[in-house]
A = this chain, B = another copy of it.
């Protein structure tokens, strides 16, 4: 049985699936002995489009009914045997003329592994898309143990990039009038600031000064792909707790000047590599601007997930020149949970600035994944806040530090280009100065 991404809570789903599975098994008793790989081959060679639907459904049902290991074994066999037609490929290579688009394209089609055709054929079954996304989620989860699945994963990724094209997605405003079936998934999928139950959820989607937007794909109408949570405020927030607390004094939306993106969560593990985030943010900016002309600023309140592990590694390796004696002492104090002096606070802000602006991955992009995301979208690093996220995760990842990124309409494109072309980081000059002090 494939575990759904956000497993244990979806009892109703599970129930239905088990029940359905049971009925399936009862009805198709013979399927227990269905040779899945053979059936997949027949699915591709048979010329009847509609009759293939029945076979495709049987294959999906049977695959899901298998034990995890058995299912992965089948995937490995498929990965190994559904390559391209060797003879045609050989011929296409022979025909290829350098610089000629036509023979190159022929080569492209000849080299297409039949596993792609197989995935497309399985997708024809109504409702199959979500099942294929779950199948890839499992594939990804066992990729380390079964590296021979890497190619099949590329096929999934290639097709999902095409199928989940931005043009096919729809944005929805999730609020308290949304169905419980979707809302419980929001609870389950929130990955940044955990939702503590239905009352907490209502605070986040039902309050007039809170918004939640999500992308959906029409073939998976009850499954959010990604969502962003927004707080409408009068000021740029410096900590997460006031945003999340349940007994707040609300703000009339038309009094708000600032929209704060305080949480962005990808929902589908099976869609790794298919990115929706920047499209979502740009569209939410558009939607909110239209609805609330009083909004003047769009900022984030974001975690710094890599700060602590970077600092600890840097302290160990000594490879970062800015990590002077004081920095090392600070890190030790932080690790021992000591209260910080004002000076140490300032030092921690300097450490964070240094990490965000200067720590890079090989290619030159900044090391912090959240920073990379927002800077790549054209935002500017605006402020660094201490004691801003006192949750376990906030402490474990960044000693409580959070930051604001600012999306300034007029400069987004220019900043995006500068980062895209040369990894130039947009940051307030004070932060830049801090980092290099």
Assess whether B207 is in contact with A12, with CB atoms less than 8 Å apart.
Answer: yes
A252 to B198, alpha carbons, bound, how many Å? 29
Query: Does A361 sit at the interface, judged by CB under 8 A?
Result: no
Assess whether B377 is in contact with A48, with CB atoms less than 8 Å apart.
Answer: yes
Copies in the complex: 4
Q: Binding site of A, secondary structure by majority: helix, strand, loop or mixed?
A: helix
Assess whether B279 is in contact with A16, with CB atoms less than 8 Å apart.
Answer: no
Q: Which residues of A contact B (CB under 8 A)?
A: 11-12, 15-16, 19, 23, 46-51, 53, 79-80, 82-84, 86, 89-90, 93, 96, 98-102, 104-105, 107-109, 111-113, 120, 123-129, 150-151, 154-155, 158-159, 161-163, 165-168, 170, 176-181, 183, 197-199, 202, 206-208, 218-219, 222, 250, 252, 275, 278-279, 281-282, 376-378, 412-413, 416-417, 420
A158 to B159, alpha carbons, bound, how many Å? 12
Assess whether A166 is in contact with B275, with CB atoms less than 8 Å apart.
Answer: no
Q: Nearest Cβ in chain B — how far from A26, in angstroms?
A: 10
A128 to B378, alpha carbons, bound, how many Å? 25
A124 to B168, alpha carbons, bound, how many Å? 8
Assess whether A101 is in contact with B151, with CB atoms less than 8 Å apart.
Answer: yes
Complex contacts, A412 vs chain B, CB 8 Å: 51
Assess whether B109 is in contact with A158, with CB atoms less than 8 Å apart.
Answer: yes
4 new A-B contacts, CB < 8 A, other than A124-B165, A180-B198, are A15-B207, A48-B278, A105-B155, A129-B168
Assess whether B53 is in contact with A166, with CB atoms less than 8 Å apart.
Answer: yes
Residue of B with least CB distance to A85: B104
Residue of B with least CB distance to A247: B11
Complex contacts, A151 vs chain B, CB 8 Å: 101-102, 105
Q: 16 A-B contacts, Cβ less than 8 Å apart?
A: A12-B176, A49-B278, A50-B279, A50-B281, A89-B107, A101-B151, A105-B151, A105-B155, A108-B112, A120-B161, A163-B163, A170-B218, A177-B179, A178-B180, A179-B179, A180-B180
Known contacts A112-B108, A155-B105, A125 near B167 by CB under 8 Å: yes
Complex contacts, A170 vs chain B, CB 8 Å: 218
- Partner of A417 from the list B11, B48, B107, B113 (CB cut-off 8 Å) is B48
A208 to B13, alpha carbons, bound, how many Å? 10
